[in-house]
Structures are given as C-alpha cells and as structure tokens.
Amino acid sequence: MSLELRPLHNLFAAEASGIDLREPLDPPLVQAVEDAMDRYAVLVFRDQPLSQAQQIRFAESFGPLDLGLRKLHPGAAHRFDYEALIDISNVAADGSLARRDSRKVVSNIANQLWHSDSSFQQPKAQYSMLSAVVLPPKGGETEFADLRAAYDALPADLQHEINGLEAEHYALHSRILLGDTGYTEAQMAMIPPVRWPLAQIHPGSGRKLLFVGVHAREIVGYSLAEGRMLLSDLLEHATQRAFVYRHEWRVGDLVMWDNRCTIHRGRRYDLNERRELRRSTTEDLLPARMVA
Ligand code: OGA
Ligand code: MN
C-alpha cells in the first residue's frame, strides 16, 4: 500500500488514496501521512467508513488523544464507546434529534465559527479527524482556511506588528458570543484561558502562519477594543476565499486536518435533518514557536 495524493486547491488540501484506514498503519505509512499533512494540512480520504474502534486506532497512530470540551461535563451521557470520540452531531445522547435550543445544538452552531480545535487549552489540538456517518440532504459543508498562506499575504508592516504578539484564547468565548452564558463559576474556571503567539512557525514545514480564530478574545498588551478589532481584521484576512478549501461531504469520508496551520468552520444546514460525524483529535505536544 502506498499513499497517493491529488491536490484539491492551489495552496493546500489534497485527496489521499491508496491506503485502507481500517487496517493498522505501519510506521513508514504513518510517516507518509505526516509528511503529506506537513505539505497539504488537509487530507480527504474517500470511502473509509470506519468503526469507532478503527477510528480510535487510526487517530492513536499520531499521538495521545484530546477530549475537547468534554472535560467540562465529566460523566455526561454520550453515544460512543470511547471518551475520546467526539460526537459532532445534532443528536442527543438517547439517539433522538436534539432540541434546537439544547446545548448540544449550540455547540454544533459554535463549530460554524472559524476556529482551531482546542486552541483554548494547553495542549491544543494537532490533528483532527472527522468521519461522516449521516449527512443532511443539503448544506453542512466544512470549510478550511490556510493560515500559512494568510501570513505570507499580510502586508509587511502588519507582519511586523503581530510578530512577537500573543492572543488570549478562552474556551467559552464562542459560546458566550452565541448567547450560551449559563455556565457555573466552577465550569468557567475549569478551562483557564491560554496565550498563543499570533505569528508562529509551523513545525513540519518551517513556514510562518497567522494563528487566529474565534477562541482568541484579546491581544495581550492591547486594549480590549483595539485587540478585538485587530483579531477580527486578521480573521477576515485569513478567511478570504482564495485561502479556503470547501469540503462537500459524502458518507464514509474521513477528513484529517492540522489545527496548527489551518482553521475551519461548519456551514449551516437544516437542524431538523440529522448530521452525524465523529471526531478524534490528537494533542499538540510541541511548544509553540513564536515569530520574534
Ligand atoms: C469539528 C468541527 C465542523 C463541522 O468537528 O471540530 O468544527 O462541519 N466541525 O462539523
Ligand atoms: Mn472544530
């Protein structure tokens, strides 16, 4: 078996074929996938309907797994056999369609804001792998933006301004933006904010990148207003169409992305239709490298 790659966009993202993700990957194949990720940052594997156990095994080939926001709700009911499999769906723990005003649907909608998974915590996410199980008849695509291309395209004076700056990322910022404010003091304290450089160096490619997204709520050393406005301008810059790959899902797709150098968002769909995907995510264990 050998990995074949077909570019899907002129900057990043490729369709990957030639390997069977249901089987254990030997170390050279894991290395080949990592090398492809360093180059393309988003890999689309078609026709790979994985069982829960197969998805966990595939994900664990790339490092320890992250639990996302599940740690806010320890012991909460869920539908999967593994704590580390994240239920990206509008379906409640009992299998029924979740209510539109439920927290489950709010967090689904929060995924429609541009973000890098778990950038609100240390360690943040390295790779996420999302597997499509049930899809709505229309909508519900996922878009990815290339943060390396975004950095390269910034005017030199803005690159100079953001080099050396840090942003503070907070887990509940996106939820609060969407009006989901009913968290207890204990829950709010459970995931303290973290700081990440705005301009970083991507370990696998050595390229510079612009690390923005909805979890970033302020710039350290700037007033709240000035920092938020700059973050909003930078996010708008990073997500211009030229830097975006839009994935139209088919059941059995597995899409894998590098959260260190891309951001993503889901697109709207009819919440009366089921949309069910399963996510596994690895932790980013390398220290962030700031562009000084
Ligand atoms: C995710 C996510 C977007 C989508 O799974 O991390 O943000 O389209 N998903 O469901
Ligand atoms: Mn996400």
Q: Evaluate whether residue 34 is within a structural domain.
A: yes
By CB neighbour count within 10 A (0-12 exposed, 13-18 middle, 19+ buried), where does 167 fall?
Answer: buried
Domain annotation covers residue 142: yes
CA 116 / ligand 2 centre spacing (Å)? 6
| Rounded-to-integer distance, Cα 84 and Cα 48, Å | 19
- Cβ of 119 less than 6 Å from ligand 1: no
- 169 — phi, psi (to 5°)? -110, 135
Atom nearest to 111 CA in ligand 1: 7
Q: Is residue 291 part of a domain?
A: no
Query: Is the CB of residue 88 below 6 angstroms from any atom belonging to ligand 1?
Result: yes
- 288 occurs within a structural domain: no
Question: Residues lining ligand 2 (ion), CB within 5 A?
Answer: 117
User: 56: domain CATH number?
Assistant: 3.60.130.10
Q: Residue 187's pLDDT is what?
A: 86
In a domain, 292, yes or no: no
Does 111 contact ligand 1 (Cβ within 6 A)? yes
Instruction: Indicate the pairing of strand 254-258 with strand 125-134.
Output: antiparallel
Is residue 255 within 8 Å of residue 45, measured between CB atoms? yes
Structural domain boundaries, residue 19: 4-283
Ligand nearest to C-alpha 143: 1
Distance CA 203, CA 252 (A): 30
* CB contact at 8 A, 251 and 140: no
Q: With 0.85 as the threshold, say if the pTM is over it.
A: yes
Tokens of 282: 């690895």
Our answer on whether the CB atom of 259 is closer than 6 Å to any ligand 1 atom is no
Question: Closest-lying ligand to the alpha carbon of 141?
Answer: 1
| Ligand sitting nearest the alpha carbon of 136 | 1
Q: Is the CB of 128 under 6 A from ligand 1?
A: yes
**Does residue 290 fall inside a structural domain?**
no
Q: What pLDDT is recorded for position 70? A: 72
Count of C-beta atoms within a 10 Å radius of residue 236: 11
- What is the predicted pLDDT for the residue at 77? 84
> Does a structural domain hold residue 239?
yes
C-alpha 254 – ligand 2 centre gap (Å): 14
Q: What pLDDT score was predicted for residue 99?
A: 96
Ligand 1: centre distance to CA 223 (Å): 31
Given ligand 1 and candidates 130, 131, 174, which is best to mutate, with the most ligand atoms within 8 Å of its CB? 130
Counting ligands in written order, the one closest to the CA of 87 is 1
Asked whether residue 66 is assigned to any structural domain, the reply reads yes
Rounded to whole angstroms, the Cα distance separating 48 from 44 reads 10
CB 238 within 8 A of CB 264: no
Estimate to the nearest angstrom the gap between the alpha carbon of 140 and the chain centroid: 15
The number of beta carbons lying within 10 Å of the beta carbon of residue 124 is 23
Strand ranges (E), the chain? 4-7, 14-17, 42-45, 86-89, 125-134, 142-146, 166-169, 194-197, 199-201, 208-210, 216-219, 244-247, 254-258, 262-266, 276-283
Report the pLDDT value the prediction gives residue 240, as an integer from 0 to 100. Answer: 98
Residues 6+ apart with CB under 8 A from 172: 183, 187, 188, 191
Domains in the chain: how many in total?
Answer: 1
Contact 42, 256 (CB under 8 A): yes
Residue identified by tokens 């999967």 is: 80
For the chain (292 residues), the mean pLDDT of every run of 10, in chain order, is 95 98 97 98 98 98 88 80 95 95 92 97 97 98 99 98 98 93 88 96 98 98 98 98 98 98 98 98 97 93
What is the pLDDT, as a whole number, of residue 76? 81
